[in-house]
A and B are shown apart, each in its own frame.
Chain A
């Protein structure tokens, strides 16, 4: 059974496109990355899966349950962390956690206590007085305390310091190892590369690539960094040219022999040819589709 499966899922806000003909499949137990810039349709996808908005057309199942008819059953087994956590006025952290558990009809005080300790979150603190990062921690505990089968996380690390991010991902890795599925929506590609087994890239409301993270990164392109004078414009397969202090960097996806000949003819002090990182891959997919469009 898939944790998430959508077929032709489409959402329009009036005439404005949200997502279009979205086919997505996330296996149970996966740590899945969902990559795209702001406005690409990540949040619309998540909100549709959670039943906050209704799809205009298409089908979707979460944990094998139809999102149109089994919303309540789905939400009972899902933990959701929104990009921006908003809470009711006048509440303390423990009130929020108690309210969340109460709305689920479960007693998860022990789990909440453990998570608060691990994330260094004071349950007695007033939510309104918390920093953005600490409010995020409240959301994380709410999403995790009932031990959900599927975790849907929308830009989860915003506001968390590096140590907290490490602890947070440690918790997610533990949950994933215990059988939970993690669906991580992010535009921080290093997070996806480090933790996810598979990922999908969304652009303009459509999935433009979905594969294992290593396979996504294997585009045949290379990141080239040169120090010295070099004009890459006559070379086919060059994109994303950026000037550095003493040279330039670009992505190259043409024949290696042509690159080596061009580099050999230039007065260079140093050359580095490396595997592109996920950021480059992301730009690669975007540029490719942009050119097609």
Chain B
């Protein structure tokens, strides 16, 4: 528990900053909806006529004229990508920053088994990602209440549930990476998050690249799919969870035997 608490304390500033930034942009974005509401038919028609770009963002199947459609497209990108970047940074730094900051010598000369170190850090990463996603959900609810609309609880919970899974998967992938890298972890983590985001755009825009949906976790957070189906697609979620679990298992195996220089 000591290490778990220490990890949470070390990460509290980053968590606060990222939460406030993402929450602020969600609030601003939803606040803009009433202004567009009257012109949504024209805006929707414009967005629906942009070819591959329209498909890439799922706007060919989603009505941006509705609040939840607007939320899924506009706020979805902010929460999805912003949260993914935070999850990646948190995950990739968990183990790697001990060696990068030369604190591994301090930590690992205390009587704690390496697997317990990995477990405590993993738990702290998971709690921080959960906290960010819970706060984002609350910001989403608050923003809808503030513009005087009825909260679409079910759709909102579905969207945010998908974002949570995305962030947990990405955090797990980066956590696995953090057992292997000593320096340059943040660059690797952010690069992975952004690359997976663009892979999803490519998968949506080009039917030939459909297989990429089984690679990128952004695929199962697609607002159009979620709101039309009313549920997550298990065929996309399960491979992602398996990748995450494999990365965590690799982190345990690697870090338990790693030479700390």
Contact = CB atoms under 8 A, between A and B. Distances in A.
B111 A75 contact: yes
A109 to B, nearest CB: 15
B113 A86 contact: no
B106 interface: yes
Which of B2, B104, B260 has most A Cβ within 10 Å? B2
A211 interface: no
A102 B7 CA distance: 13
Interface in B1-35: 2-3, 6, 10, 13
A30 B24 CA distance: 62
A289 interface: no
A103 B112 contact: yes
A293 interface: no
A50 B106 contact: no
A88 B260 contact: no
B103 interface: yes
B111 A76 contact: yes
Contacts of A73: 111
B41 interface: no
B259 A52 contact: yes
A88 B10 contact: yes
Nearest to B7: A88
B106 A54 contact: no
B105 interface: yes
Given A52-B260, A53-B260, A54-B259, A84 B102 contact: yes
B111 A52 contact: no
Interface string A47-74: 1001111100000000000000001110
Interface in A55-112: 71-73, 75-76, 78, 80, 82, 84-90, 99-100, 102-105
A72 B108 contact: no
A52 B106 CA distance: 10
A43 B257 CA distance: 19
Given A52-B105, A86-B101, A72 B113 contact: yes
Interface residues on B, range: 20 to 34
B39 interface: no
Nearest to A54: B259
B107 interface: yes
A103 B107 contact: yes
Nearest to A53: B259
A80 B260 CA distance: 15
Contacts of A75: 109-111
B156 to A, nearest CB: 36
A289 to B, nearest CB: 27
By secondary structure, the B interface counts as loop
Nearest to B107: A103
A53 B103 contact: no
A103 B109 CA distance: 10
Contacts of B101: 86, 88-89
Contacts of B108: 51-52
Contacts of A78: 109
A91 to B, nearest CB: 9
B106 A72 contact: no
A75 B3 CA distance: 16
Interface in B78-119: 101-113
Contacts of B109: 50, 52, 75, 78, 80, 82
Contacts of A85: 106
Contact of B111 (A82, A90, A103, A142): A103
Nearest to A77: B111
A78 B3 CA distance: 19
A82 B110 CA distance: 13
A41 to B, nearest CB: 14
A291 to B, nearest CB: 33
Contacts of B107: 103
A84 B109 CA distance: 14
Contacts of A102: 2, 6
Given A47-B260, A52-B259, A86-B105, A99 B111 contact: no
A102 B107 CA distance: 11
Contacts of A105: 2, 111
Nearest to B12: A90
A43 to B, nearest CB: 10
Nearest to B5: A102
Contacts of B10: 88-90
Contacts of B3: 103
B189 to A, nearest CB: 19
8 contacts: A47-B260, A53-B261, A54-B257, A82-B109, A86-B103, A90-B13, A104-B111, A105-B2
Given A53-B260, A54-B257, A89-B10, 5 more contacts: A13-B259, A82-B109, A88-B6, A88-B101, A90-B10
Interface of A: 13, 47, 50-54, 71-73, 75-76, 78, 80, 82, 84-90, 99-100, 102-105, 142
The 7 A-B residue pairs whose C-beta atoms are closest, nearest first, are A102-B2, A86-B102, A103-B110, A76-B111, A75-B111, A53-B259, A52-B260
